[in-house]
Amino acid sequence: MGRSVHLNDIEPVLEELDYPISRDAVADQCDDVTLVLADGEENLGDLVAESGGDEFSSMDDLESEVFNLLPRHAVGEPYQSEGEG
């Protein structure tokens, strides 16, 4: 059964993996994880499968790559910063 995880709760999911880990292994092991975004959802396995990297040496590397792969709407309104206002 799949898991739904809010984007800000992704670390425990990534901590379950053994590093270094290949892109394909992450895609396989995370294919049941749905990331709940500010606007919509993304399958974590599918998202990582789109990565240009072949291997992730640490959780931080993978987390950074996931955030880089997310669509702009994933974290809130486009062109808005929580620091504004």
Distance CA 74, CA 76 (A): 6
Question: Tell me: the pLDDT tens digits for 11-59?
Answer: 999 999 999 999 999 999 999 999 999 888 999 999 999 999 999 999 9
CA-wise closest residue to 42 among 76, 17, 66: 66
Spell out the long-range contacts of 40-48 with Cβ–Cβ below 8 A and sequence spacing 24 or more.
Answer: 40/71, 40/73, 40/74, 41/4, 42/70, 42/71, 42/74, 44/5, 44/10, 44/13, 48/23
The mean pLDDT value for 58-85 works out to 73
Residue 58: φ, ψ to 5°: -155, 165
End-to-end CA distance of the chain: 42
Q: Judge if pTM exceeds 0.85.
A: no
